[in-house]
Structure 1
């Protein structure tokens, strides 16, 4: 980059803001042109300083940083926005992605990662980057492994497999016969069965029962 990248820092934590402004000031290709700890002051500072990149905290003392980011993106399509967060939870990362920011980094990220995010935002304002994006996407796309049967239904299946009658199942579980019948009916429905034999056969095929 031939010209210096103009940066504004908005962070409510004084020490973090001090560290960020010092970090930017040490880099020959970056220039600090404004700073504040309040989201309410950010819009005026950006309008005056006309930065290339805004480094913005996700949780500000006065405003929701994510909403501030959305407001800036709506008003300044070419502004690079780096969102800082205290943690990198998947839900926070995806909220950052949806807000239209250019980069997402955590407060504990290495200095090199923060600087890389600022430089990325300067040249690719509308292209999102985050170090944990790929694994987070993989986790989101992976279907949640919900068990087919509830613990109680698995217990009923085990008792059926042992040959117990509905009355005996009710006694074993300390429930009424009508409740036991409900458990068995629900179990049959989940297993696509109409009787005990079918239920046990289907459970064996699904690996829900071990053949003796």
Structure 2
């Protein structure tokens, strides 16, 4: 079985050591490196190309948000899971909009770390339960009026299929397999539907999907 290659980042060495031992004890994971600050993390990511990075937010030199943005632009195949004690809603939204697939609070059970890494590796989203309640229920459902259904109705049948699957957190490759089309075609449909709906990133797409009732928010972190 091919293992998930993980890079662990945190500015506290004792935290990194504990995470390494815990993740290396899993049959489907291996820690291929570690970093104690943002600059080192970015260097290791570019050199090692891990499958998943477990990333702290508050690190010296370069913040976790800056690292996430740079990884999205330079090493897009690497998935990022935030592991932090900070769960401010605005910060979570900003990181998710930057391409982060998982956000785990350090106070969460250890099983959340494993679930987040495995789901991110599949291209799916994961939020700790507390964050899901605060971010999705408050931000996605509680703010602003629901978008017009007519915008969604303007999508072609295939675009609606791609829309639903993207909102459910599936990767481009998985969507291509499910719909029996090429990844390039999936990207073409996604670009088209986002333009029609005036959506600019995956988090906006998720908000729209929940507001029009296309996807159940409970699916996002299960």
SS in 2 for 1:119: helix
- 1:92 maps to what in 2? 91
- 1:4 maps to what in 2? 3
Structure-1-length-normalised TM-score:
0.62
- 1:129 maps to what in 2? 126
Shift of 1:32: 0.8
Mind listing any 5+ residue stretches in structure 2 that lack a counterpart?
145-222
SS in 2 for 1:42: helix
Mind listing any 5+ residue stretches in structure 1 that lack a counterpart?
145-212
Query: Residue deviations 1:118-159, cap 9 Å, x none?
Result: 1111111xx432132254222124259xxxxxxxxxxxxxxx
- 2:72 maps to what in 1? 73
Shift of 1:43: 2.3
- 2:42 maps to what in 1? 43
Change (3 A) 1:61 1:4: same
Bigger shift: 115-124 or 130-139? 130-139
Shift of 1:29: 0.6
- 2:16 maps to what in 1? 17
Q: State which structure, 1 or 2, has the greater radius of gyration over its C-alpha atoms.
A: 1
SS in 1 for 2:24: helix
Change (3 A) 1:75 1:27: same
Change (3 A) 1:111 1:142: same
Does the 8 Å contact 2:89/2:134 carry over to 1? no
Change (3 A) 1:90 1:4: same
Does the 8 Å contact 2:54/2:81 carry over to 1? yes
* Structure 1 segments (4+ residues) deviating >4 Å: none
Does the 8 Å contact 2:49/2:75 carry over to 1? no
Structure-2-length-normalised TM-score:
0.59
Query: Residue deviations 1:90-117, cap 9 Å, x none?
Result: 1222122112111001111111001111
- 1:116 maps to what in 2? 115
> How many pairs does the alignment contain?
141
- 2:142 maps to what in 1? 142
Does the 8 Å contact 1:7/1:55 carry over to 2? yes
